[in-house]
Amino acid sequence: MKIFAPQSRRDFLKTASAATLSALAAGFPRAICADEVEKINASADTVIVLWMGGGMAHTETFDPKRYTPFSKGMAPDSFLSTFPSIDTAVDHIKFSQGLEKTGQVMDRGTLIRTYTAGDLGFILHSRHQYQWHTGYAPPQTVAAPHIGAIIARTLGPLNPAVPAFINIGQRFDVGEGEELKAFTTAGFLGSEYGPFNIPFPDQAAETVRPPGGMTPGRFEDRNRFYKRLLAASPIGEAGSDYQKDSLLRSLDNAHRLLSSPAAKAFDLALEPIESIRKYVPGYEPGQRFDAKQDRFGAKYEEQMVGRFGLGCLLARRLAEVGARFIEVSTEYIPFLNWDTHENGHTRVAAMKQQIDSPLSQLVLDLEARGLLNRTLIVLASEFSRDAMIEGKPDKRIKDQVEVPDRVEDSKHYGMHRHFTDAGCVLLFGGGMKRGYLHGLTAEERPCKTLRDRVIIEDLHASLFHALGISPKLAYEIEKRPFYVTRDGEGKVIPELFG
């Protein structure tokens, strides 16, 4: 495999046969730097994606519309927002109630209100999430890499002792877990660039510590002992073989990572308690947030507040020691978190409570450490929601949620259908404008995109651009180019950049 520059199909053909045949046979990537890829001055070194998996309703969060309080018997199409709007630090930008802290840092950020999800038919969240994270709609004939893997592959780690792609907060033994696995992968780029998964951030330290109960001393002894056996083995260090070399190199890398000072960044116990409480209000020392999924458990909300809060704190600590790409998820679980098929109003209130403190604190902390300029925070979701419209106004798809004629029960008060014609993406730092609003949506239903539509290809092109990566960059697999934005067609949105 090799990297190559955007070029004409014919030029591609000329080089394809000779150069790639041998590379492919080995099935292992080899990078050939492309001279022709345009040189871009990067404005960011690190990306933190805050993933609102499940469908975050725009009118209930960062694009509030006319507020209608709940009243028994109200018409289901009578409400656009179930919360009043609030002011933010930017005069012309209003948020939905419950996002006060984030509103106070809006002057540091850029808000896109017109993210438009693809038309993939009858909704399966994980298909849209796949598209958001790879730029391609599934299934694909080759395993499409996650953007974190593309970034890891293209730029490498920022600090060699920190995995380049870290994925926090998502388990894979939940509903649609297999589908989530299908895009949480380096795909054809090879597992070197795959995610370092930390489903429970309060256990992050254990992921870089010696295994269960082993003291650091024994860990070092074991490694020294291994080196002795290796030296004594007839197939030890002598002689060069690609398989052997790669095995020994990988073990050395792992050992270096585990014994590096950077590994301390994974240990949240080293964080002052006051600092943790800014991410997880009311946090008590030693408190764990590793309960199994329990949608009816009384402590569910508390657990999720803790997990996402600690996830954001962990992201900050990792960004400080030179992580390249971090994703923190509120966790996608069917019918939980942002996947509000009923009780939308109550659920969204809880979700906003979950994200407001850590999100704003992450921005402030990175700013205080002088890291915000080179760290790009991206808060996004696979699509939005609406009370009435499934899909787009002009491309309706099969409804998944029944809407009653009259809303008698508060469980029907909320945004329960999957709306794909507008949605919010919040960007902070990494060269993005400060206090900027991009895109306009309708004030009345359908609250669709009116101006400056943003699609996934262009959003990705802009993220890549911030990192100095061309949207036309391609990796080669099975002799064909696989572009980092679909068919190399992603277009950078220049208005976003400061």
Whole-number minimum distance, CB 271 to another protein, in Å?
A: 22
Residue 244 touches another protein, criterion: CB under 8 A: yes
Which residue's CB is nearer to another protein, number 188 or number 308? 188
CB 15 within 8 A of CB 23: no
Binding mask 165-184 for another protein (x = CB under 8 A): ----------xx-xx-xx--
CB 48 within 8 A of CB 378: yes
Residue 41 touches another protein, criterion: CB under 8 A: no
Residue choice 78, 156, 216, 253 for contact with another protein (CB under 8 A): 253
Which residue's CB is nearer to another protein, number 121 or number 498? 121
Residues 90-119 that bind another protein (CB under 8 A): 119
Which residue's CB is nearer to another protein, number 251 or number 442? 251
Residue choice 33, 229, 298, 368 for contact with another protein (CB under 8 A): 229
Residue choice 25, 33, 298, 368 for contact with another protein (CB under 8 A): 25
Residue 208 touches another protein, criterion: CB under 8 A: yes
Residues 386-405 that bind another protein (CB under 8 A): none
Residue range at the interface with another protein (CB under 8 A); choices 211-219, 264-272, 350-358, 424-432: 211-219
Residue choice 8, 39, 298, 405 for contact with another protein (CB under 8 A): 8
Residues 145-164 that bind another protein (CB under 8 A): 163
Residue range at the interface with another protein (CB under 8 A); choices 87-95, 208-216, 300-308, 450-458: 208-216
Count of chain residues binding another protein (CB under 8 A)? 86
Residue 9 touches another protein, criterion: CB under 8 A: yes
Residue choice 33, 232, 298, 368 for contact with another protein (CB under 8 A): 232
Whole-number minimum distance, CB 474 to another protein, in Å?
A: 13
14 residue type, one letter: K
Residue choice 228, 288, 369, 406 for contact with another protein (CB under 8 A): 228
Residue 84 touches another protein, criterion: CB under 8 A: no
Whole-number minimum distance, CB 196 to another protein, in Å?
A: 6
CB 435 within 8 A of CB 106: yes
Residues 437-476 that bind another protein (CB under 8 A): none
Residue choice 321, 442, 479, 488 for contact with another protein (CB under 8 A): 479
Which residue's CB is nearer to another protein, number 10 or number 39? 10
